[in-house]
Amino acid sequence: MSNTLVVIGHGMVGHRLVEEVRERDHAGHWRIVVLGEEPSPAYDRVGLSAYLKGTTAEELSLTGAEVRADPRVSLRTGVGAARVNPDEATVLTTEGETLHYDALVLATGSRPFVPPVRGSDLPGCHVYRTLEDLDGIRAAAEPGTNGVVVGGGLLGLEAADALRGLGMHAHVVEVAPRLMPVQVDEGGGAVLARLVEELGLRVHTGTAVENVRQDEHGAVSGVSLTDGTAIDTGTLVFSAGIRPRDELAGPAGIEVGERGGFLVDPSCRTSEAGIWAVGECAAVQGRCHGLVAPGYQMAAVVAEQLTGGGGAEFEGADSATKLKLVGVDVASFGDAHGTSEGALEVTYANNAAGTYAKLVLDDDASTLLGGVLVGDASTYTTLRPLVGRPLPAAPEELLFPGSSSGGVGAGTLPGEATVCSCHNVSKNDITAAISAGSVEDVAGLKACTKAGTGCGSCVPMLKTLLDEAGVVTSNALCEHFPQSRSELFEIVRATGIGSFSELISRYGTGRGCDICKPAVASVLAGLGGSHILEEEQATLQDTNDRFLANMQRNGTYSVVPRVPGGEITPQKLIVLGEVAEEFGLYTKITGGQRVDMFGARVEQLPEIWRRLVEAGFESGHAYGKALRTVKSCVGTDWCRFGVQDSVSMAIRLELRYRGLRAPHKIKAGVSGCARECAEARSKDFGVIATERGWNLYVGGNGGFSPRHAELLASDLDDEELVRILDRFLMFYVRTAERLQRTAGWIESFEHGLDHVREVVVRDSLGIAADLEEAMSRHISDYTDEWAAVLRDPDKLSRFVSFVNAPQAPDPTIEFTEQRGQIRPAPVMLPVPTTERPGLVSEEVSV
């Protein structure tokens, strides 16, 4: 018979505890009841700010289907704990239900600290803690007005950036003399403040809110600071720290720490038998920890004890943090402030470049104690695991790995060094997984060890460890070209080579294959603007591109004309019906807002195209690695919820990018409001209307690995949207590898979407004008591939089943009928019988 484990709190740490117990409890010893006060199950609170940038609550959710479907777990959202009675081992819920427990874990987390300021409870005052808090901030935000954030720490800067993203002029008020006083020192704080202000935030340090002013309706109208500054605002956000949620302690007789929190020993046990505490509410030997990594460690400690592991103990917290706050890299680790006795400091500040770095060493400069990095935190993944260990090189070499011959890499780290503090994964754990041959890339390491699946700051180190272990994935396109597709693209662009034969003779070997020929053909078509069936080009294409149609399983082809934005006139619909009826084609309306027609024989294709081209249709490129469709809702034309003309924008984008040859197919969508009827965020690029313009999302797809697109830029006007899309698509065409969708392409960069944003939005590489010009050439060179075939007798001659009988149909093609339309006839195969040797049974359908 199973025992009952009650978990009070379903935040990140409470959820991790449930996962840890489920993973260890193979015998089904525990039935778990989870009480979560919030209406949503556990979500990624570290990534909370993404919610205001378009990430949905579902995407932030940590609770997968396997937990919801587990009969051992009863998850109750919107239900909290009113009282704990240790004597009777019961919990009274906020709904009045009494739950018995055999073990109880308190994971109540923390609450935002609101300074005791007059007026802090007025309408217009907010905290920054939950999804509901952010919904309130979003609803209250007025673009173009001031927004004030009280608190210049981690969450305070995130909140200020969120207000900026909502179109407000954000002010940050911090009582300490610098931003992020817990993580960075005076020098780092000064550089951080300058970088933050350059991005549009106004910083007020060394001052505090004295009072909150109110208007005639009793709502916030402004704040007065202790230094005499007055700021008019209707939106005030308190993000000045947190306090542990320990209100259940008093009535239950549970001891608390001197500064709050359920007092626990290293095993996370409270003063009451059978009750543990984990996460921000737990004061381990009197100290609370406000980061998620220590909470995850506590969850593992308690789960180990509950499932028979015995004396597991919390070994201390790694307080290291690495964040990109408002676009600025900030990291600190170890003794960042040099409080250790005899500590020495090595600092470097480059105000011109906006970078600051400090290392804290012991009194004989032989051991690394900690450090601070602002503006450039690229060395963080190497430095953090070295804390408390002898220096492997001179301090300046640690800060600037390329400054001398020695170099500092992953190989200098001892095996027991922690690489991933979120999941307590050591270098030994990672190298063991690599040595076992079970992983070949970072994704494999993540799946095998969980490293890199938390905050993600250790991902660069995972790549380095793979490289140093000799796990190298070749970028060669195939055995005939040692170069990657992107490298060949640049070679063709730089040299002006116009044929496959010239390219392989100069840069490859052999005669080519079915991998490199279509890939090079795509590059040549994209750069040269020639028809893909022009001379040698035609011999390079795969079957679909060779006949400008998709081959189906019975040897026939589909014809898919373009219908920009899904908008079509009744007359064109009639033509589609007439053509389908005349040629006996199967018709289907697709999810891409087009009509597919199946069952055309190869010799019928030109005549079908002729009828369609005469009616104003053109190729929809359903056969090519190119732009397919730009799906659209009806937008402001018809929908009462629409805020922008999504149909016009979808048509504009589809006509602009039609025929764009790429490493893989490209699908897109434009939604006229946040209700997302065009499913834009499941596309390679998706555009969603806002009241201030358009939000652009990139990197989604619905293929083998479905994923939502992420926000690239927000509140763009029409011309800004088109300009950034031009750059994004051309950057993808130039640099992605063969058959690499936009999602995988973005993930292939070390900093993922941040890198893409720097290049295509902020023009960090100085190539924006070149990318825009390349797109302009594509647009001016575009011709319909079907129409071009119809004008050229040589190209038309290719569309036959038999060279010696051009008009003869393929006799092997057969159809059957179902629901009033044709289908490929079942393939009949002889099946041997076991009744009498040598005889064959009747044919059966397969």
> For every residue of 753-772, which 3-state class applies, written as one string?
HHHHHHHHCCCCCCCHHHHH
What residues have CB less than 8 Å from 638, skipping those under 6 apart? none
pLDDT at 106: 97
Strand (E) or helix (H) holding 277: strand 275-277
pLDDT at 841: 33
User: Lowest-pLDDT range, 43-52, 196-205, 401-410, 642-651?
Assistant: 401-410
User: pTM score, two decimals?
Assistant: 0.62
Write out the two tokens for 784.
């319909």
Round to whole Å and give the CA distance between 180 and 183.
Answer: 6
- Domain assignment present for 838: no
Residue 310 or residue 363, greater confidence: 363
Q: What are phi and psi of 292, to 5 degrees?
A: -75, -30
| Reported confidence tier of residue 529, pLDDT bands at 50, 70, 90 | low
- Find how far residue 679's CA is from the centre of its chain: 17
Write out the two tokens for 669.
């969508």
% of the chain surpassing 90 pLDDT: 50
Round to whole Å and give the CA distance between 363 and 369.
Answer: 10
Task: Looking at the structure, tell me whether residues 455 and 397 fall in a common domain.
Answer: no
427 pLDDT exceeds 90?
Answer: no
Phi-psi category of residue 542: left, alpha or beta, with phi > 0 → left and psi -120 to 50 → alpha: beta
The domain of 184 spans 125-240
Residue 474 or residue 234, greater confidence: 234
Round to whole Å and give the CA distance between 32 and 36.
Answer: 13
pLDDT at 409: 58
The CATH number given to whatever domain includes residue 148 is 3.50.50.60
CB 381 within 8 A of CB 409: no
DSSP lists the bridge partners of residue 627 as: 666
pLDDT at 705: 65
Q: DSSP letters along 385-433, please?
A: GGTTSB-SS-HHHHH-TTSSSS---GGGS-TTSEEETTTTEEHHHHHHH
- Domain assignment present for 564: no
Task: Looking at the structure, tell me whether residues 638 and 776 fall in a common domain.
Answer: yes
Round to whole Å and give the CA distance between 199 and 456.
Answer: 24
Task: Looking at the structure, tell me whether residues 646 and 777 fall in a common domain.
Answer: yes
440 pLDDT exceeds 80?
Answer: no
pLDDT at 281: 97
Write out the two tokens for 643.
């805020």
Question: Tell me, what amino acid is at 266?
Answer: P
Write out the two tokens for 708.
């939502």
Write out the two tokens for 567.
């908008």
- For the ranges 320-329, 340-349, 520-529, the one whose mean pLDDT is highest: 340-349
| Reported confidence tier of residue 414, pLDDT bands at 50, 70, 90 | confident
- Domain assignment present for 774: yes
- Domain assignment present for 437: yes
CA 775 to each of CA 343, 624, 651, 778: distance values in angstroms, whole numbers, following the listed order: 57, 18, 17, 5
Write out the two tokens for 508.
């490859």
Write out the two tokens for 649.
């924008």
Task: Looking at the structure, tell me whether residues 776 and 645 fall in a common domain.
Answer: yes
CB 688 within 8 A of CB 700: no
CA 411 to each of CA 108, 165, 407, 438: distance values in angstroms, whole numbers, following the listed order: 41, 41, 10, 21
Round to whole Å and give the CA distance between 690 and 697.
Answer: 13
Q: What is the CA radius of gyration of the chain?
A: 32
832 pLDDT exceeds 50?
Answer: no
CB 105 within 8 A of CB 7: yes
| Reported confidence tier of residue 391, pLDDT bands at 50, 70, 90 | confident
- Domain assignment present for 212: yes
Round to whole Å and give the CA distance between 18 and 24.
Answer: 10
CB 430 within 8 A of CB 465: yes
Q: Return the closest-CA partner of residue 184 out of 345, 401, 388, 356.
A: 356
Q: What is the pLDDT of residues 166-187, one digit of tens each?
A: 889 999 999 999 998 888 888 8
689 pLDDT exceeds 90?
Answer: yes
Burial of 486 (0-12, 13-18, 19+ CB in 10 A): buried
- Domain assignment present for 116: no
Q: DSSP letters along 317-363, please?
A: ----EEEEETTEEEEEEESTT--STT-EEEEEEETTTTEEEEEEE-T
Domain limit, last residue, from 291, 306, 321: 306
State the residue for tokens 């079942």: 826
Question: Tell me, what amino acid is at 182?
Answer: V
- Domain assignment present for 202: yes
State the residue for tokens 């117990």: 21
Domain limit, last residue, from 185, 211, 240: 240
Task: Looking at the structure, tell me whether residues 145 and 89 fall in a common domain.
Answer: no
pLDDT at 31: 95
pLDDT at 703: 64
What average pLDDT does the segment 3-20 reach? 95
| Reported confidence tier of residue 843, pLDDT bands at 50, 70, 90 | very low
DSSP lists the bridge partners of residue 305 as: none
What average pLDDT does the segment 329-335 reach? 86
DSSP lists the bridge partners of residue 823 as: 816
249 pLDDT exceeds 90?
Answer: yes
Binding residues for siroheme: 677
User: Lowest-pLDDT range, 443-457, 509-523, 746-760?
Assistant: 443-457
Write out the two tokens for 778.
């594509």
The CATH number given to whatever domain includes residue 462 is 1.10.10.1100
pLDDT at 701: 83
Give how many domains the chain has, as a whole number.
Answer: 6
Task: Looking at the structure, tell me whether residues 671 and 767 fall in a common domain.
Answer: yes
Write out the two tokens for 162.
């969120």
Question: Tell me, what amino acid is at 487?
Answer: E
CB 202 within 8 A of CB 173: no
Round to whole Å and give the CA distance between 665 and 726.
Answer: 16
Round to whole Å and give the CA distance between 196 and 154.
Answer: 13
Residue 414 or residue 619, greater confidence: 619
CB 226 within 8 A of CB 174: no
CA 624 to each of CA 508, 589, 658, 660: distance values in angstroms, whole numbers, following the listed order: 25, 19, 11, 9
| Reported confidence tier of residue 257, pLDDT bands at 50, 70, 90 | very high
388 pLDDT exceeds 90?
Answer: no
Round to whole Å and give the CA distance between 822 and 704.
Answer: 29
Helix, strand or coil for residue 114?
coil
Write out the two tokens for 299.
């969850």
Half-sphere exposure of 303 (CA within 13 A, CB side): 21
Round to whole Å and give the CA distance between 427 and 417.
Answer: 6
| Reported confidence tier of residue 406, pLDDT bands at 50, 70, 90 | very low
Round to whole Å and give the CA distance between 653 and 821.
Answer: 34
Q: What is the pLDDT of residues 721-765, one digit of tens each?
A: 999 999 999 999 999 988 889 988 988 887 788 889 999 999 989
What average pLDDT does the segment 246-260 reach? 94
| Reported confidence tier of residue 836, pLDDT bands at 50, 70, 90 | very low
Residue 142 or residue 427, greater confidence: 142
The CATH number given to whatever domain includes residue 635 is 3.30.413.10
Round to whole Å and give the CA distance between 373 and 361.
Answer: 15
User: Lowest-pLDDT range, 71-85, 353-367, 596-610?
Assistant: 353-367
Task: Looking at the structure, tell me whether residues 167 and 228 fall in a common domain.
Answer: yes
| Reported confidence tier of residue 814, pLDDT bands at 50, 70, 90 | confident
CB 511 within 8 A of CB 504: yes
Q: What is the mean pLDDT of the chain?
A: 87
What average pLDDT does the segment 133-162 reach? 91
What average pLDDT does the segment 603-629 reach? 94
Binding residues for [4Fe-4S] cluster: 633, 639, 673, 677
Write out the two tokens for 463.
């790549």
Residue 101 or residue 799, greater confidence: 101
Binding residues: 633, 639, 673, 677
Question: Tell me, what amino acid is at 360?
Answer: V
Task: Looking at the structure, tell me whether residues 467 and 489 fall in a common domain.
Answer: no
| Reported confidence tier of residue 610, pLDDT bands at 50, 70, 90 | very high
Round to whole Å and give the CA distance between 600 and 809.
Answer: 11
Round to whole Å and give the CA distance between 102 and 86.
Answer: 10
- Domain assignment present for 819: no
Q: Return the closest-CA partner of residue 410 out of 388, 394, 426.
A: 426
Task: Looking at the structure, tell me whether residues 131 and 202 fall in a common domain.
Answer: yes
What average pLDDT does the segment 341-351 reach? 86
pLDDT at 166: 86
Write out the two tokens for 100.
């018995």
Domain limit, last residue, from 380, 408, 436: 408
CB 216 within 8 A of CB 199: no
pLDDT at 846: 31
Task: Looking at the structure, tell me whether residues 235 and 338 fall in a common domain.
Answer: no
Task: Looking at the structure, tell me whether residues 103 and 250 fall in a common domain.
Answer: yes
What angle (nearest 5°) sits at the alpha carbon of residue 341, between those of residues 340 and 345? 65
**To 10 degrees, the CA torsion angle through 589, 591, 593, 598?**
-40
246 pLDDT exceeds 70?
Answer: yes
Q: Return the closest-CA partner of residue 27 out of 217, 385, 307.
A: 307
Task: Looking at the structure, tell me whether residues 517 and 453 fall in a common domain.
Answer: no
| Reported confidence tier of residue 473, pLDDT bands at 50, 70, 90 | low
Burial of 204 (0-12, 13-18, 19+ CB in 10 A): buried
